[in-house]
Amino acid sequence: MKAFIINKYTKGALQLADVPTPVVGNSDVLIEVYSAGVNLLDSKIKTGEFKLILPYKLPMILGHDVSGIVAKVGKNVKKFKVGDKVYSRPADYHVGTFAEYISVNEKDVAIKPKNISMNQAASIPLVALTAWQALVERADLKNGQKVFIQAGSGGVGTVAIQLAKYLGALVATTASNKSFELLKNLGADVLIDYKTHDFEHILKDYDAVLNSQDQKTLEKSLNILKPGGKIISISGPPTPEFAKEMVLPWYVKMITMLLSFGIRNKAQKKHVNFSFLFMRAEGSQLQEITKLIEAEIIEPIVDKVFAFEQTNEALEYVEGGRAKGKVVIQIKSEK
Does the residue 291 lie in any domain? no
Is 285 part of any domain? no
Tell me: do 205 and 272 sit in the same domain.
yes
Average pLDDT of the residues of the chain = 97
Count, residues in the chain: 335
**261 phi, psi to nearest 5 deg:** -55, -45
pLDDT in tens, the chain (335 residues): 999 999 999 999 999 999 999 999 999 999 999 999 999 999 999 999 999 999 999 999 999 999 999 999 999 999 999 999 999 999 999 999 999 999 999 999 999 999 999 999 999 999 999 999 999 999 999 999 999 999 999 999 999 999 999 999 999 999 999 999 999 999 999 999 999 999 999 999 999 999 999 999 999 999 999 999 999 999 999 999 999 999 999 999 999 999 999 999 999 999 999 999 999 999 999 999 999 999 999 999 999 999 999 999 999 999 999 899 999 999 999 97
Q: What is the CATH number of the domain that holds 139?
A: 3.40.50.720
The predicted-structure confidence for 96-123, as pLDDT tens digits, reads as follows: 999 999 999 999 999 999 999 999 999 9
The answer for residues whose C-beta is within 8 angstroms of residue 84's C-beta and 6 or more apart is 69, 70, 111
Q: Do residues 26 and 66 both lie within one domain?
A: yes
Which is it for the CA torsion 110, 113, 117, 120, positive or negative? negative
- Give the Cα separation of 253 and 213 in Å (integer): 23
Neighbour tally for 47: CB within 10 Å: 15
What per-residue confidence (pLDDT) applies to 2?
A: 98
Cβ–Cβ under 8 Å, residues 239 and 138: no
Domain CATH for 57: 3.90.180.10
Nearest residue to 327 (alpha-carbon basis) of 120, 72, 21: 120
pLDDT at 322 (0 to 100) = 87
Q: Is residue 261 located within the same domain as residue 131?
A: yes
- Number of domains comprising the chain: 2
Domain-embedded: residue 284: no
The whole-model pTM stands at 0.98
Same domain, 257 and 137: yes
Same domain, 117 and 148: no
> Does any domain span residue 286?
no
Q: Which domain holds residue 172?
A: 126-276
Question: Where in the chain does DSSP place strands (E)?
Answer: 2-6, 15-18, 28-38, 60-61, 66-73, 85-88, 101-105, 109-111, 146-149, 170-175, 190-193, 206-211, 225-233, 273-276, 302-307, 326-330
Is residue 292 in some structural domain? no
